[in-house]
């Protein structure tokens, strides 16, 4: 019998290492659906640019008419209404592209790992066979995120407060893996997870 493709959805705090986990599965032949990459691509879409300029003003555009992501982020994360305004523009498009990529991969027999920071908030869990919570101490996660993005100290914690609480993400997940060490430790966690997946999702 041909194995049924799995769709693993990754959840966790900012800087937990979801992308590193996804890449570990990619090295094993899984397709990666990366919501952040999709969002970045949408920022180059003329229709999306016009919606953003209308919602936030032309101050969020560069001289060449492209989106200035830092300027947009300063608006979007300044208050709840601004964040929700941006999400109303991006999320329906991100969801549609995620579902399209998942369908394309699974229809060809390939398993998928869905790396979407707001997976639960966007209600994408219904397309996942299993949800995996990537766990790491807050100080490690926040240091990773601030180094990667060049954020000021405390910015990762502030942005995380705008997301679904971690306890809720953990509660709704089927598995928990720890990413508090190096890549070798993460590889062991990935191998252990794949062995423990229920047969119906193999």
Report domain extents, the chain.
Answer: 7-201
In angstroms, the CA 46 to CA 130 distance is: 35
Q: With contact defined as beta carbons under 8 Å apart, do 79 and 108 qualify?
A: no
| pLDDT tens across the length of the chain (202 residues) | 345 688 999 999 888 889 999 999 999 999 999 999 999 999 999 999 999 999 999 989 998 999 998 889 888 887 888 889 999 999 999 999 999 999 999 999 999 999 998 899 888 999 999 999 999 888 888 988 888 888 888 888 888 887 889 999 999 999 998 887 677 778 888 888 888 875 444 3
Cα angle for residues 15, 20, 21 (degrees, 5° grid): 105
Considering the domain 7-201, what is its CATH architecture?
3-Layer(aba) Sandwich (3.40)
pTM exceeds 0.95: no
Separation of first and last alpha carbons in the chain: 12
In angstroms, the CA 154 to CA 175 distance is: 28
In angstroms, the CA 77 to CA 55 distance is: 14
């Amino acid at each position: 019998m041909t194995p049924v493709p799995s769709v693993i959805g990754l959840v966790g705090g900012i800087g937990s290492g979801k992308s590193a986990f996804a890449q570990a599965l990619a090295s094993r032949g899984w397709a990666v659906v990366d919501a952040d990459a999709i969002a970045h691509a949408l920022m180059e879409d003329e229709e999306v640019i016009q919606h953003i300029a209308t919602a936030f003003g032309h101050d969020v555009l560069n001289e060449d008419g492209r989106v200035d992501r830092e300027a947009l982020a300063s608006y979007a994360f300044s208050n709840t209404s601004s964040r929700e305004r941006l999400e109303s523009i991006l999320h329906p498009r991100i969801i549609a592209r995620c579902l399209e990529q998942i369908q394309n991969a699974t229809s060809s027999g390939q398993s998928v790992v869905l790396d979407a920071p707001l997976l639960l908030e966007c209600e994408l869990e219904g397309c996942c066979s299993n949800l995996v919570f990537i766990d790491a101490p807050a100080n490690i996660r926040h240091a990773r995120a601030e180094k990667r993005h060049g954020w000021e100290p405390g910015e990762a914690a502030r942005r995380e407060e705008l997301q679904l609480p971690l306890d809720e993400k953990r509660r709704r997940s089927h598995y928990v893996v720890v990413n508090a060490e190096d890549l070798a430790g993460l590889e062991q966690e990935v191998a252990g997870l794949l062995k423990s997946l229920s047969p119906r999702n193999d």
